[in-house]
Amino acid sequence: MEHPADLGFRMPAEWEPHEAVWFSWPHPEGISFPGAYDRIPPAMGALVRAAAEFEPVRINVRDAAEEAEARRHVGRHDRVQYFHLPTSEPWCRDHGPIFLVNDATGEVAVADFDFNSWGGKYAGPDLDRLVPSALAKVLGLRCFRCPMVLEGGSIEVNGTGSVLTTRSCLLNPNRNPDLAEVQIEANLRGWLGVRNILWLGDGIEGDDTDGHIDDLTRFVGRSRVVTVVEPDQGDPNHLILETNLTALRALRDEDGKPLEVVTLPMPERRLEHEGQRLPASYANFLLVNGGVLMPSFGDPRDDEAAAVLGSLFPGRKVVPVDCRAIIIGLGSVHCLTQQQPVPPRVLAS
């Protein structure tokens, strides 16, 4: 089987220029927001407007009626487009396409991984499973089909050869029980164009994805990462995050350079919904052209987290987005979005 990497494709870093950012609109009958859906469309509208201040936004809706509903909450905005591509749930990071670029040819393509509702936790992923290939067709992009189960929130790349991920998710038998670690690593190299796989351990409490990396640690430069920490030793997240922090300090980039590790606080207050802990994390931010959309939780540490991200991205405006409603669905800003890169500029030889 010919892999995208063999043809010169790679997954770009999130800070590389975007053509647009994708969303999938939520549905009242979905499983993501039990007993709280009425709070979600206004919160989604606010998030879409925040993103549209920086770059074009493209939203998947199932039909004209849902488009009208989305438009009512988003409002009039020249940078927002709607596409009639139905989904089951709104987590576009995980069911949406993973975009690839080819620097030699200027081509953008789609990596279409399998999707099984986060290890078969929820029924009915069929519509979500079809999103990558459907979007590739709409956009006229080449689509590479990979049979391995993989969600976009489980991987984080620096764009030059390294990928961060977690053993608790990618090596979980509920994803790819027939694949050994060496086979999963080979697929990451072949489909994402990476050569250096960096493994962390467990995810935070309340994360039903089995430990997505985008709630833990993010690349903020080729050899620099930001990772969340929990100072309260009585919090279950303290040991989890301390263990990952120790692991990060021993890891190196694709050229053998040690990672520079910057810490980011977790929210001070424990967020719960109907007795369930919610995985509120400031690491679930989204980089947009000229900005950083940071989830905020009405927490005393919101400002501290914004200051850390501002120091890491001095040329970008940090915009806190209230995610106290959205986090009920066990995800926030990054989980709801998927960036589409600008085609690489091919320089004449």
Which residues are identified as catalytic? 335
> Residue 112, Cβ neighbours under 10 Å: how many?
22
Residue 213 contacts residue 227 (beta carbons within 8 Å): no
Residue 278 contacts residue 272 (beta carbons within 8 Å): yes
Residue 319, classed as helix, strand or coil, is: strand
Report residue 34 as tokens: 């039990």
207 Cβ neighbours under 8 A, 6+ residues apart: 215, 279, 330
Residue 129, classed as helix, strand or coil, is: helix
On the CB side of 84, CA atoms within 13 Å amount to 6
b vs e for 294-319, b when ≥16 Cβ sit within 10 Å of the residue's Cβ? bbbbebebbeebbebbeebbeebebb
